[in-house]
Every structure is written in structure tokens, then in C-alpha cells.
């Protein structure tokens, strides 16, 4: 590709994001370069921005990336089943793939795990976050091919939707008729409502604060049977 550098927002200090131009790396057999279309904003992104979580700096934030494969190594293309021009979503976690946890499918518990957006610029090639034009996709990434016909702002919801399904259905094995209580109507709580609804849950209860009134209304629209404002209603009685 002709372009040699990528625009990236680099967090250099708490509450400080700087536009910088970072070199675009050469791609080896196992990795890829993604042209970022959109990046979800996680609750932790704000904490990272404020500096309350101990994330390394300087670093490029953004770990819920959606984009188009710009360049890819042959082995990576084979392993991930994607090629140049395909739309992909990249999971947050980079695990070692070889420890007991990784081999047992619990890659999120890998002792050597790294997380996109929490890897400093000093760790080559630096483009480890999606608040940028391009993101480096390391060979240990978990990559999902995404439907290109979806608008990017919808497709980028893959992370909270995936979390809702994993946390509220897959892990607790939610099935038809089950009662589920979801604490908090954030983007992952609301995604959990959608997931439980689709899994056939019989009773979906969502709790929230008084300030969450609008989100609790959305929870109902998504299929929650009951919502509880824990500041003004007694959850136990209700
Ligand atoms: Zn996140
Ligand atoms: Zn591992």
C-alpha cells in the first residue's frame, strides 16, 4: 500500500489525547492490517481517558474495532478465513494460545493475555488501538468475519451484543422459561436483555438507578418484563 503512516489518537496523559502520525508496519505471515471503520466505546474507555485505570501510556485507545482488511499474511488469511477487502471484528483479548486456559477455551483467563488499547506505543508496532486510521492485527487475535451489508454503526455493536449473549445466555445456560435478573441497563445489560429474549427466557428483570429511566424504558422495549428503579422501588418487594 502507498500510505506509510496512520493517523492515530494517542493518549499521552490522563485526559490528554493527541493526534499523531504513526508508521504503518510491514505485515508478516501471521498478522494483518485493518483499516478502521468504527470502534465501540467501552465503559472502560472513559476510565482509561480519566486515568483511573492503570493503563500504560502513551498508547492508542480503542478495543472494540470494526474494519476492513487492508493487508494480511497468507497464514493469517488461511487461519481466520478472511482476505483483503473483507470486513472483520477483532476481539479485545490477545491470548498466548498455548497455556492450559487457552487450550481449554478459557482464553480470557490466559496468564499472558494482553488487551488491545492497553499496549504502549513502545511495544512495536504501536498501532494497538482503534482510535486510529489503521490498527495492527496480531497473529494471536480472534477475528470474526462480518457482514458488509450492515451499516458500520450497527455492525460495531458486535462487542456489547456478543458480551450480552456470552454473559447472560451462554455462560449461565439460559433457556426457555428461565428467570433472569440483569443488574444495570448499560449497553451490555441491554444486550443481555436481547440475548435472553432470543433464548426464550420467561421472565427478564432489569434493575437500574433513577437516572437510568430512559435506559430502563429501552430495556422494556427490548423485551424485559419488569424494570426496577432501585433508588425509588424496593426490589425485594417488587
Ligand atoms: Zn471494552
Ligand atoms: Zn494462554
Complex confidence, ipTM: 0.91
Question: Poorest-confidence range of 50-54, 149-153, 218-222?
Answer: 50-54
**206 CA → ligand 1 middle, Å:** 21
**45 CA → ligand 1 middle, Å:** 7
**175 CA → ligand 1 middle, Å:** 26
* pLDDT digits 0-9 by tens, 128-139: 999 999 999 999
**236 CA → ligand 1 middle, Å:** 31
User: Would you say residue 235 has pLDDT above 90?
Assistant: no
What confidence score (pLDDT) does residue 2 get?
74
* pLDDT digits 0-9 by tens, 186-206: 999 999 999 999 999 999 999
User: Would you say residue 222 has pLDDT above 90?
Assistant: yes
Average model confidence (pLDDT) across the chain: 95
What confidence score (pLDDT) does residue 234 get?
81
Which domains, ranges and CATH numbers included, belong to the chain? 5-155 (3.90.180.10), 160-229 (3.40.50.720)
pLDDT bin (cut points 50, 70, 90) of residue 1 is: low
**223 CA → ligand 1 middle, Å:** 24
**118 CA → ligand 2 middle, Å:** 17
**43 CA → ligand 1 middle, Å:** 7
Phi and psi at 7, nearest 5°, equal -70, 135
**79 CA → ligand 1 middle, Å:** 25
Cβ 24 vs Cβ 134: under 8 Å:
yes
* pLDDT digits 0-9 by tens, 34-88: 999 999 999 899 999 999 998 999 999 999 999 999 999 999 999 999 999 999 9
**25 CA → ligand 1 middle, Å:** 25
Cβ 92 vs Cβ 22: under 8 Å:
no
The residues that bridge with 132 in the sheet, in sequence order, are 8
What confidence score (pLDDT) does residue 177 get?
97
**158 CA → ligand 1 middle, Å:** 11
**111 CA → ligand 2 middle, Å:** 6
* pLDDT digits 0-9 by tens, 170-184: 999 999 999 999 999
What confidence score (pLDDT) does residue 54 get?
85
Cβ 133 vs Cβ 35: under 8 Å:
yes
Distance CA 24, CA 36 (A): 13
> Which of 94, 92, 91, 81 is CA-nearest to residue 145?
81
What confidence score (pLDDT) does residue 3 get?
85
Cβ 206 vs Cβ 179: under 8 Å:
no
- The neighbourhood of ligand 1, an ion, using CB within 5 A, equals 42
- The neighbourhood of ligand 2, an ion, using CB within 5 A, equals 95-96, 99, 102, 110
Amino acid at each position: 500500500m502507498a500510505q506509510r503512516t496512520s493517523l492515530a489518537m494517542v493518549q499521552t496523559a490522563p485526559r490528554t489525547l493527541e493526534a499523531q502520525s504513526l508508521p504503518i508496519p510491514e505485515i508478516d505471515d501471521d498478522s494483518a492490517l485493518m483499516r478502521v471503520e468504527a470502534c465501540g466505546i467501552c465503559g472502560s474507555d472513559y476510565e482509561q481517558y480519566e486515568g483511573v485505570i492503570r493503563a500504560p501510556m502513551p498508547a492508542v485507545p480503542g478495543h472494540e474495532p470494526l474494519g476492513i482488511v487492508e493487508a494480511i499474511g497468507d497464514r493469517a488469511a488461511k487461519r481466520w478465513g478472511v482476505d483483503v477487502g473483507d470486513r472483520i471484528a477483532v476481539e479485545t483479548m490477545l491470548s498466548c494460545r498455548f497455556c492450559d486456559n487457552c487450550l481449554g477455551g478459557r482464553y480470557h483467563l490466559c496468564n499472558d493475555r494482553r488487551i488491545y488499547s492497553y499496549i504502549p506505543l513502545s511495544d512495536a508496532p504501536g498501532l494497538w488501538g482503534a482510535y486510529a486510521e489503521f490498527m495492527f492485527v496480531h497473529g494471536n487475535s480472534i477475528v470474526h468475519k462480518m457482514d458488509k451489508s450492515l451499516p458500520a454503526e450497527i455492525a460495531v455493536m458486535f462487542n456489547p451484543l456478543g458480551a450480552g449473549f456470552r454473559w447472560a445466555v451462554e455462560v449461565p445456560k439460559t433457556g426457555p422459561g428461565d428467570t433472569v435478573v440483569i443488574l444495570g441497563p448499560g449497553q451490555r445489560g441491554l444486550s443481555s436483555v436481547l440475548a435472553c429474549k432470543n433464548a426464550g427466557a420467561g421472565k427478564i428483570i432489569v434493575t437500574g438507578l433513577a437516572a437510568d429511566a430512559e435506559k430502563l424504558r429501552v430495556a422494556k422495549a427490548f423485551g424485559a418484563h419488569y424494570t426496577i428503579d432501585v433508588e425509588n422501588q424496593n426490589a425485594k418487594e417488587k
